[in-house]
Amino acid sequence: MKILVADDDLVSRRLMERVLQHSGYEVITADNGRQAVRELSEPGGPRLALIDWMMPELDGPEVCREVRSRSDCGYVYMLLLTSKESSEDIVKGLQAGADDYLTKPCRPAELKARLHTGRRILQLEDRLVEAREEMRFKATHDALTSLWDRGAILTLLRNELFRSIADSPVSLLLCDVDHFKKINDTHGHVAGDEVLGELSTRLLEAVRRGDAVGRYGGEEFLVVLSDCSVVQLKERAEQVRRAISCCPFSTEHYSIPMSVSVGAVSIENWDESITIESILKRADAALYEAKAAGRDQVVCAATLVAA
């Protein structure tokens, strides 16, 4: 684990570095407070820090304040190294953002014990962040396919439309799996779930990084294509269609030919007179035409343009 040792005294810094390296730490050093702040603010920088109270440019409490003020940085566990022993000084250091303090000269056993406490706290924070991100993912993603769920993909569509006000066209594809009920009836729901999972992967691979794919409901999927004009729409929609029908889907026990029907619509010069509901209604009507015309094809609706 990386640890920062910030001390303007070369001898103290080297002694501390030697003790920490012997304990398995990757040691990064700084000889002034401003350098310490830079090191702790770097992406992937140390999350443990030993900071001397008295340093040039910024003293230890000022370093703590600067680091704590930066919301874009991960949590750093900081120990102040000080010869000050009054309770007023200790309170001042802790109020500045230090997590703990050590009186110089430090005894190695006490140093290791306090750093071990810091590591436990950082591990707890990592688990809390991981749990928070997992909850956030579950709140916005479909459990079966791991795609955006209906609410999230519609929110993304709305956000993309607002972004498109600066003359950037948006298109969307409403895709429906052809004869999906027959797959469930013939091969079972487990195979059907496997097909939806593989189909989701193919959809993601068929679109660009900046596009969004969501499970709209059942076997329907919504693809939001940013910066995609009506001129590009047909080709982009065909890429998605071919990605599904190009080869059979392999489940644990079956090889199943698959296809999708696609209703496509492009929106230009959007304003709030064009509602999300009207866009989806237009895409759904185009999808119905694709189904009625024999499936496994794309139908592009007329472009929606604000009045």
The residue from 17, 62, 160, 219 that is catalytic is 219
**Pair 149, 141: CB distance under 8 Å:** yes
User: What is d(CA 68, CA 136) in angstroms, rounded to the nearest whole number?
Assistant: 25
Q: Which helix (H) or strand (E) holds 138?
A: helix 108-140
In 112-259, the DSSP E strands lie at 170-177, 212-217, 220-226, 249-250, 255-256
Q: Which helix (H) or strand (E) holds 49?
A: strand 48-52
Nearest to 25 by CA among 41, 6, 46, 40: 46
Establish whether 268 is a catalytic residue: no
User: What is d(CA 160, CA 226) in angstroms, rounded to the nearest whole number?
Assistant: 7
**Pair 91, 138: CB distance under 8 Å:** no
Which residue bears the tokens 């003359």? 167
- Mind telling me the catalytic residues? 219
